Amino acid sequence: MKKISLIIAASLLTLGQLTAQKKQNSLLKNSTKMNTTEQAEHYTFKLSDKVTRQKVSFKNRYGIVLSGDLYLPKNSVNEKLPALAISGPFGAVKEQSSGLYANQMAERGFAAIAFDPSYTGESSGEPRNIASSDINTEDFSAAVDFLGLQKNVDRNKIGIIGICGFGGFALNATAIDKRVKAVATTSMYDIPRVASKGYYDKITLDERTKILEQMSLQRWTDAEKRNPEYGNCPNPDTLNGNEPQFVKDYFDYYKTPRGFHERSINSNAGWTKTNGFSLMNIPILAYIKEISPRPMLLIAGENAHSRYFSEDIYKIAAEPKELMIIPNAVHVDLYDKVDVIPFDKLERFFKANLK
């Protein structure tokens, strides 16, 4: 298990040692093209006939232009709506899981924005495909800015949903941004924790040091070339059958028609080889207790490899808090399985607490 943990953690940080840089650059070039018919219309779910979807954009406080889809219930023309900012999973785009969540919540009477985080998808930021504890937290607050400026949104009734790695950033954003009235996460990951310590905190100091040394030396290469090198896609194109079950689960979502998207890092691109540089040293959940007295809802699958992240946060968070374990579910079941994701629970939670 220790060996597997190190391998997986290293993949989160460097995501491949032998990248075909020419192929990667082509993928990145394609990922930043906007408004082509194929890309604009490719969603991994069907838009509800009770919902409208509109392309929008807004800036975060670092000047990065974020791309989003605003979902609204069709029968809400003259209403002030409660609103939700939604993003994730880590390495995904708004046409995947976050858009599905926004679609479902708009059906239930919410204004909901699903957005691409900075440096990914259709959002701006150079170089491409990098993550940041600070900037990805700020992305949520920027989405709250956008929602609060809409004439049909009640800015006093705004919540956040974070999926997978953006569950952690959602909690961090809620702790610091007091405009957020309630937060929910599904299949939550603490990305800086797993980047710096590996799964189940198994990475030793010596192993962590070696990973950081590798990334430090990679910076020389990037500086000399004046461009970052990229790792392989987090998910392989084929499986040999010996992978951990959760790797197979990721493959089943990101690499098949079920969840594949051409702009998704997890489907066909890769993070920079130095992506973990700041993540490894900037934890995001040190102030989790400061979410209180606003409520949090943590949802995880019974058989999810990531379940322990939600359980650990639940232990240290202050009330009001709730941990909901979905029987028999694995991590990616909460990405897109509408018969598994407890949308009715999410509806009750936010309608009760966005006030």
| pLDDT exceeds cutoff 90 at 15 | no
The whole-number pLDDT of residue 79 equals: 82
Share of the chain above pLDDT 90, in %: 86
The arithmetic mean of pLDDT across residues 345-353, rounded, is 98
Query: Could you count the other beta carbons within 10 Å of the beta carbon of residue 154?
Result: 17
Terminal Cα distance for the chain, rounded: 46
Lowest mean per-residue pLDDT among 9-23, 42-56, 202-216? 9-23
Q: Which residue reads 């807004």 in tokens?
A: 58
Query: Could you count the other beta carbons within 10 Å of the beta carbon of residue 256?
Result: 10
Tens-place pLDDT, residues 121-156: 999 999 999 999 999 999 999 999 999 999 999 999
| Stated pTM of the model | 0.90
Fold of 2-353: Rossmann fold (3.40.50)
The burial class, CB within 10 Å (0-12 / 13-18 / 19+), for 146 is buried
Radius of gyration of the chain (CA): 19
* Closest to 27 in 3D by CA, of 261, 254, 335, 273: 261
71-102 residues labelled b (16+ CB within 10 A) or e (exposed): bbbeebeeeebbbbbbbbbbbbbbbbbbbbbb
Query: Could you count the other beta carbons within 10 Å of the beta carbon of residue 134?
Result: 13
DSSP-derived 3-state class of residue 264: coil
CB-CB contact of 305 with 298 (8 Å): no
Spatial distance between the Cα atoms of 335 and 96, rounded to a whole number of angstroms: 8
Give, for 106, the enclosing helix (H) or strand (E).
helix 97-107
Spatial distance between the Cα atoms of 311 and 309, rounded to a whole number of angstroms: 5
pLDDT band at 16 (very low <50, low <70, confident <90, very high): very low
| pLDDT exceeds cutoff 60 at 48 | yes
The whole-number pLDDT of residue 256 equals: 96
Tens-place pLDDT, residues 256-314: 999 999 999 999 999 999 999 999 999 999 999 999 999 999 999 999 999 999 999 99
The whole-number pLDDT of residue 141 equals: 98
Distance of CA 256 to the CA centre of its chain: 19
* Closest to 195 in 3D by CA, of 270, 284, 263: 284
The whole-number pLDDT of residue 294 equals: 98
